[in-house]
Amino acid sequence: MLTEQTMIAQLLKMRERVKHICPPASSADIQRAEAALGFKLPTLLEKLYGEVANGGFGPEHGVLGLDGGHASDGQSCVKTYLGFRKPYRNKIIWPEFYLPICFRGCSIYSVLDCSSDSGPVVGIDLADGVRPEAFKKESESLFAWMEDWLSKVTQPK
């Protein structure tokens, strides 16, 4: 059975084989991100950033890093979230605590609900608009989302 400790150990082993991956985020990096976001990162995400890497591991194009880490189109998860939270026609339409953690290509993101320490991961295709029914559950939690990805990449072929 996979635990958080064994997950982190597997990711660290994978990290040794990857040439271009960001170093882990410092506690100051994490504190700056939380201050900019206005909420605390879930414990597992904080551990992944602080112990494994500041993004770049995980599904598709990799988990988006904090500022200074792995980015998509030059955007960290912090900058992406803050950009999505900007008012549109005088209204904020992006849900509070919905942190984009993975750019999957085109206009599709995996998003972690950070309103609790074990929030679900949901997906959204921005081409469908940002409305509650556009978010589709991908996984019950960040742990389950990462566990699913790890099971696919660590299985012998």
**Residue 68, pLDDT score:** 96
- Residue 63 CA to residue 149 CA, distance in Å, equals 12
Can you identify the CATH homologous superfamily of domain 4-152? Answer: SMI1/KNR4-like (3.40.1580.10)
Confidence check: pLDDT of 99 > 80: yes
Q: Are 125 and 107 in contact (CB under 8 A)?
A: yes
Confidence check: pLDDT of 18 > 90: no
Q: Torsions phi, psi of 154, nearest 5?
A: -105, -5
Confidence check: pLDDT of 85 > 90: yes
DSSP code string of 110-127: EEEETTSTTPPEEEEEGG
Confidence check: pLDDT of 42 > 60: yes
**127-138 mean pLDDT:** 92
**Residue 5, pLDDT score:** 95
- Residue 157 CA to residue 141 CA, distance in Å, equals 27
Q: Whole-model pTM above 0.85?
A: yes
- Residue 100 CA to residue 107 CA, distance in Å, equals 12
Q: Are 109 and 103 in contact (CB under 8 A)?
A: yes
**Residue 91, pLDDT score:** 85
Spell out a b/e string for 95-121, using b for 16 or more CB atoms within 10 Å of the CB, else e.
Answer: bebbbbbbbbeeeebbbbbbeeeebbb
**Residue 88, pLDDT score:** 84
Residue 38: Cβ-neighbour burial (10 angstroms; 0-12, 13-18, 19+): exposed
**136-150 mean pLDDT:** 96
**Residue 49, pLDDT score:** 98
Q: How many CA atoms does the CB half-sphere of 115 hold within 13 Å?
A: 9
**pLDDT digit string, tens, across residues 50-61:** 999 999 999 988
Q: What is the mean pLDDT of the chain?
A: 93
Q: Is residue 46 within a helix (H) or strand (E), and if so which, with residue range?
A: helix 43-47
The count of residues in the chain is 157
**Residue 137, pLDDT score:** 96
Where do the structural domains in the chain lie, given as residue ranges?
4-152
